[in-house]
A and B are shown apart, each in its own frame.
Chain A
């Protein structure tokens, strides 16, 4: 079945460092891809998405490009801040009647001042 694999955390960075969180997927069709973020004490929220190959999703300085040839959707940010500390979840949806989201295991990012 469809699945998402994320790099294990925690990822610990200093403020202003470059961030990459790897995500690869397995799917039978052409899924939409997402990054959700969970800040401490809050619910998950959509960070960005891409719906087809070569699309780039972006939000709050974060970017991810849908790479069909490598089945990847890596999350990047050029300069992280302490406020970016959170758990990041990669997810896919095959669409269809339910648009069910399938999540990866999450990657904890800790940014130190």
Chain B
């Protein structure tokens, strides 16, 4: 079974630039999550989709972050403009059964 795919693996940008991350969940998983993991902290949920509808985006900084999940499959997370404090690993996860999440390897973002 293929896992959760994310790209790119690494990204380095300057502050005020924009960046986008892509996620392809496990086939058939209706729920998709984006987490932010800042160095030394645990993952923090940014947004959760059920199919292509948003279930929870309460911790998404909506002035600069946006996410979409077209056709209930792939998803993209965008940051525009980026700030230094956005440096983190961005994790995508999907699930079929509640609470059993499968995570991708993440995208490590460095904002200079």
Interface residues of A (CB under 8 A from B): 4, 32, 34, 36, 38, 41-46, 49, 89, 91, 93, 95, 97-106
Contacts and interface: CB of A to CB of B under 8 A. Distances in A.
A97 to B, nearest CB: 7
A105 B42 contact: yes
Interface in B93-107: 93, 98-106
Contacts of B93: 43-44
Contacts, number: 55
A82 B84 CA distance: 37
A45 B4 CA distance: 11
B31 to A, nearest CB: 8
B55 A43 contact: no
Secondary structure at chain B's binding surface: helix, strand, loop or mixed?
A: loop
Given A43-B4, A105-B40, A100 B48 contact: yes
A83 to B, nearest CB: 19
B91 interface: yes
A44 B91 contact: yes
Nearest to B104: A43
B94 to A, nearest CB: 11
A42 B105 contact: yes
Residue picked from A4, A34, A44, A104, most chain B C-beta under 10 Å: A44
Contacts of B101: 36, 44, 46, 101
Contacts of A41: 105
User: What are the 5 A-B residue pairs with the smallest beta carbon separation, nearest first?
Assistant: A103-B42, A43-B103, A44-B103, A99-B98, A98-B56
